[in-house]
Amino acid sequence: MPSPNKKDRKRASAKELASPAVGFGSSFAGGMAVFGLGGHWLDRKTGHEYLFTLLGIGLGLLYGAWELWKLITISNRQAERRRREQAEKQESETNEPAK
Protein backbone atom coordinates (compact mmCIF):
# COMPACT_ATOMS: atom_id res chain seq x y z
CA MET A 1 0.00 0.00 0.00
CA PRO A 2 1.57 3.33 -1.00
CA SER A 3 2.15 5.90 1.69
CA PRO A 4 0.02 9.05 1.50
CA ASN A 5 1.66 11.98 -0.17
CA LYS A 6 2.45 15.25 1.54
CA LYS A 7 -0.79 16.97 0.48
CA ASP A 8 -2.92 14.15 1.89
CA ARG A 9 -1.00 14.27 5.19
CA LYS A 10 -1.57 18.05 5.45
CA ARG A 11 -5.27 17.59 4.73
CA ALA A 12 -5.55 14.88 7.40
CA SER A 13 -3.66 17.09 9.86
CA ALA A 14 -5.99 20.01 9.17
CA LYS A 15 -9.02 17.79 9.81
CA GLU A 16 -7.51 16.58 13.09
CA LEU A 17 -6.93 20.17 14.19
CA ALA A 18 -10.37 21.39 13.13
CA SER A 19 -12.32 18.56 14.72
CA PRO A 20 -11.99 19.71 18.37
CA ALA A 21 -12.81 23.30 17.38
CA VAL A 22 -15.97 22.21 15.57
CA GLY A 23 -16.96 20.07 18.55
CA PHE A 24 -16.42 22.95 20.95
CA GLY A 25 -18.34 25.38 18.74
CA SER A 26 -21.35 23.12 18.45
CA SER A 27 -21.31 22.34 22.19
CA PHE A 28 -21.12 26.04 23.03
CA ALA A 29 -23.91 26.99 20.61
CA GLY A 30 -26.07 24.11 21.80
CA GLY A 31 -25.57 25.01 25.46
CA MET A 32 -26.39 28.66 24.85
CA ALA A 33 -29.52 27.71 22.91
CA VAL A 34 -30.78 25.19 25.47
CA PHE A 35 -30.14 27.34 28.52
CA GLY A 36 -31.20 30.62 26.88
CA LEU A 37 -34.41 29.23 25.43
CA GLY A 38 -35.13 27.35 28.65
CA GLY A 39 -34.79 30.59 30.58
CA HIS A 40 -37.06 32.38 28.10
CA TRP A 41 -39.64 29.62 28.47
CA LEU A 42 -39.49 29.93 32.28
CA ASP A 43 -39.90 33.70 32.03
CA ARG A 44 -43.06 33.28 29.95
CA LYS A 45 -44.47 30.67 32.35
CA THR A 46 -43.71 32.64 35.53
CA GLY A 47 -44.51 36.11 34.20
CA HIS A 48 -41.02 37.55 34.67
CA GLU A 49 -39.69 39.79 31.94
CA TYR A 50 -36.11 38.60 31.53
CA LEU A 51 -34.80 37.18 34.82
CA PHE A 52 -34.62 33.52 33.80
CA THR A 53 -33.46 34.37 30.28
CA LEU A 54 -30.43 36.16 31.71
CA LEU A 55 -29.81 33.32 34.14
CA GLY A 56 -30.06 30.84 31.27
CA ILE A 57 -27.58 32.82 29.20
CA GLY A 58 -25.24 32.96 32.21
CA LEU A 59 -25.52 29.19 32.64
CA GLY A 60 -24.89 28.76 28.91
CA LEU A 61 -21.70 30.83 29.22
CA LEU A 62 -20.56 28.77 32.19
CA TYR A 63 -21.24 25.59 30.24
CA GLY A 64 -19.24 26.98 27.31
CA ALA A 65 -16.33 27.85 29.62
CA TRP A 66 -16.41 24.31 31.05
CA GLU A 67 -16.34 22.82 27.54
CA LEU A 68 -13.40 25.08 26.64
CA TRP A 69 -11.53 24.01 29.78
CA LYS A 70 -12.07 20.34 28.86
CA LEU A 71 -10.80 20.99 25.32
CA ILE A 72 -7.67 22.75 26.59
CA THR A 73 -6.82 20.07 29.15
CA ILE A 74 -7.28 17.26 26.61
CA SER A 75 -5.14 19.12 24.07
CA ASN A 76 -2.42 19.71 26.65
CA ARG A 77 -2.39 16.01 27.63
CA GLN A 78 -2.11 14.95 24.01
CA ALA A 79 0.71 17.42 23.34
CA GLU A 80 2.59 16.27 26.45
CA ARG A 81 2.18 12.62 25.43
CA ARG A 82 3.54 13.39 21.94
CA ARG A 83 6.52 15.26 23.45
CA ARG A 84 7.30 12.32 25.76
CA GLU A 85 7.04 9.80 22.93
CA GLN A 86 9.29 11.94 20.75
CA ALA A 87 11.86 12.32 23.54
CA GLU A 88 11.81 8.57 24.20
CA LYS A 89 12.26 7.86 20.51
CA GLN A 90 15.20 10.26 20.26
CA GLU A 91 16.74 8.80 23.41
CA SER A 92 16.41 5.24 22.13
CA GLU A 93 17.97 6.25 18.80
CA THR A 94 20.97 7.88 20.51
CA ASN A 95 21.47 4.94 22.90
CA GLU A 96 21.59 2.30 20.15
CA PRO A 97 25.05 0.81 19.69
CA ALA A 98 26.77 1.52 16.37
CA LYS A 99 26.83 -1.43 13.97
Please write the tens of the pLDDT for every residue from 27-60. Answer: 999 999 999 999 999 999 999 999 999 999 999 9
Task: Check if the beta carbon of residue 63 is closer than 8 Å to that of residue 35.
Answer: yes
CA 57 to chain centre: 21
Averaged pLDDT for residues 51-74: 95
Encoded amino acid at 38, one letter? G
Averaged pLDDT for residues 61-66: 95
Task: Check if the beta carbon of residue 32 is closer than 8 Å to that of residue 57.
Answer: yes
pLDDT of residue 15: 74
